[in-house]
């Protein structure tokens, strides 16, 4: 299964935020979109970073409440590990596990076209295992 297959099922909508937004604004956006991370884009919609709930919690522990007024550019991850629509989902599982990444933006010709979460990867792998099981049962039943 390819990343494009996952995006066809889940959709290609990506919640984004500009780097100048405050951490408080980020928290509002995370809650409004009900997501764990937002892709950070500049005024030309170019990918400049990614910021997650985990980034907020870790920096809040380090810097205290003053972090809430800081721009997210202070805490975002950059450069961002990305993938392409033609990439195999199995390969993403390995990268995401090794690098401890939970969200990976999908770029096509440098343009943001989606985002894949570790949950999407797990769901895809479960679906593939289910398909394989059904095919094996059918093969066995046919004798």
pLDDT per position as a tens digit, 70-96: 999 999 999 999 999 999 998 999 999
Query: Which tokens hold the place of 62?
Result: 């380090």
Task: Judge whether residue 106 has pLDDT over 90.
Answer: yes
Q: What total of structural domains would you count in the chain? A: 1
Average pLDDT over the chain reads 93
Cα gap 56→115, rounded to integer Å: 20
Cα gap 4→120, rounded to integer Å: 12
What integer pLDDT is reported at residue 143 of this predicted model? Answer: 66
Task: Judge whether residue 59 has pLDDT over 80.
Answer: yes
Taking a C-beta distance cutoff of 8 angstroms, is the pair 19, 72 a contact?
A: yes
DSSP per residue over 22-52, as a string?
Answer: BHHHHHHHHHHHT-SEEEEE-TT--EEEEEE
What integer pLDDT is reported at residue 134 of this predicted model? Answer: 86
Calculate mean pLDDT across residues 35-44: 95
User: Which domain range does residue 137 map to?
Assistant: 3-142
- Whichever domain contains 80, its CATH number is 3.10.580.10
Calculate mean pLDDT across residues 108-127: 92
Query: Which tokens hold the place of 45?
Result: 């919609």
* CA-based R_g, the chain, Å: 18
């Amino acid at each position: 299964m390819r990343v494009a297959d996952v995006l066809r099922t889940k959709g290609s909508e990506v919640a984004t935020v500009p780097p100048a937004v405050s951490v408080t604004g980020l928290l509002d956006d995370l809650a409004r979109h009900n997501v764990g991370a937002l892709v950070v884009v500049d005024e030309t919609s170019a990918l400049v970073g990614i910021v997650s709930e985990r980034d907020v919690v870790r920096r809040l522990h380090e810097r205290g409440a003053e972090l809430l007024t800081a721009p997210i550019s202070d805490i975002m991850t950059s450069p961002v590990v990305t993938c392409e629509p033609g990439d195999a989902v199995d390969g993403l599982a390995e990268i995401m596990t090794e690098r401890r990444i939970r969200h990976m933006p999908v770029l096509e010709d440098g343009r943001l076209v989606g985002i894949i979460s570790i949950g999407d990867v797990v769901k895809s792998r479960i679906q593939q295992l289910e398909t394989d099981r059904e095919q094996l049962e059918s093969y066995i039943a046919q004798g």
